[in-house]
Chains A and B, each alone.
Chain A
Amino acid sequence: MTASLRLVLVWAALMGLLALTIGASFLPLGPVLPVISYAIAAAKAGLVLWFFMELREEGGLARLAGMAGFIWLAFLLTLLAADLTTR
């Protein structure tokens, strides 16, 4: 696959996911909606990181550096949520 075709396909997938997340927010999903919204956001972020930020072409060190912020942020949010929901 040529590089430009790949970029166009990734862009189309991102637009599709955007339409999906707006559509899903109007369905009566209640407490499940945030799970779906953030799953779609994570999928979009994955496409951007993997293709646009070229982590697919990087070695382990650069991938680890690229993910480090997100990993520590996940700790912060998980422990914060655990504290708030169990008081």
Chain B
Amino acid sequence: MSERALHDPFTRLDRQREADRLGMLLFLGSEVMLFGGLFAAAMVLRLQHSHDYIAASKEMHYWLGGINTAVLLTSSALVAGALEATRAGRARLSGWLLGFAIALGLAFLAIKGTEYAIEWREGVVPRFSDAKLHGGPHELFMVLYFCATGLHALHVTGGLTLLGMMIWPKGAARAEREATTLGNVALYWHLVDLIWIFLYPTLYLAR
């Protein structure tokens, strides 16, 4: 397995692993900056319209966001466990843990979709169903909410695709003892989790 895992131009596995990790971490840094723009927009909105921002945040379904935070944190923990299992040579256990992590990721998207549907019925979707919006800052808050959570949901979908490729069709990546590929996919999944950790208090818990 280790001969197949080593690619040009590397002559040693540890060098290859270090380069792979570094590349992935730098890519994740660019993702932090991408979402950083949205967090900066949220901060400006909150500093300039703090009363309206808090009023808008109070109308959010914080329990749905909270359940989703727990779901995503648990999914991340399962992926970290799968990585340990792969390194210990327990590919089968790793596959099960990844399967549960994917199921939780799908649950996250289902809950998020339910929340969007509730907001549609409540009339707080800018442009499309905006009967209950109370003016400019509220509309800005909801635009920001849909942009930030929508972009995050796209990342969840991407992460789920990558996790799925680790167990289907053959699950070769979880049999690889060095777990370079699985390690990098896990890093991506944890970043998706990290972003949500900050989105949750920003959008749901401003009171």
Q: Which residues of A contact B (CB under 8 A)?
A: 3-4, 7-8, 10-11, 14-15, 18, 21-22, 25-26, 33-34, 37-38, 40-41, 44-45, 48-49, 51-54, 58-59, 61-62, 65-66, 68-70, 72-73, 76-77, 80-81, 84-85
Contacts and interface: CB of A to CB of B under 8 A. Distances in A.
B151 to A, nearest CB: 16
Interface stretch (B65-73, B114-122, B129-137, B140-148): B65-73
Given A11-B73, A49-B194, A69-B33, 11 more contacts: A3-B84, A7-B77, A10-B77, A11-B77, A14-B73, A33-B205, A37-B201, A41-B200, A48-B76, A69-B36, A80-B40
Given A18-B73, A65-B25, A69-B36, A52 B190 contact: yes
A2 B183 CA distance: 19
Contacts of A37: 201, 205-206
Pairs of residues from A and B, 4 with the lowest C-beta to C-beta distance, nearest first: A69-B32, A69-B29, A37-B201, A65-B25
Main SS of chain B's interface residues?
A: helix
Contacts, number: 119
B194 A45 contact: yes
Main SS of chain A's interface residues?
A: helix
Nearest to B63: A22
Given A18-B69, A81-B47, A11 B22 contact: no
B31 interface: yes
Interface residues of B, number: 45
Contacts of A66: 25, 28-29
B43 A52 contact: no
Interface string B12-44: 000000100110011011111100100110011
Contacts of A59: 18
A72 B33 contact: yes
Contacts of B128: none
Interface string B81-108: 1001000000000000000000000000
B80 interface: yes
Contact of A69 (B31, B66, B69): B31
B160 to A, nearest CB: 17
Interface of B: 18, 21-22, 25-26, 28-33, 36, 39-40, 43-44, 46-48, 62, 66, 69-70, 73-74, 76-77, 79-81, 84, 183, 186-187, 190-191, 193-194, 197-198, 200-201, 205-207
Most buried by B among A8, A37, A59: A37
B28 A62 contact: no
A85 B47 contact: yes
A25 B62 contact: yes
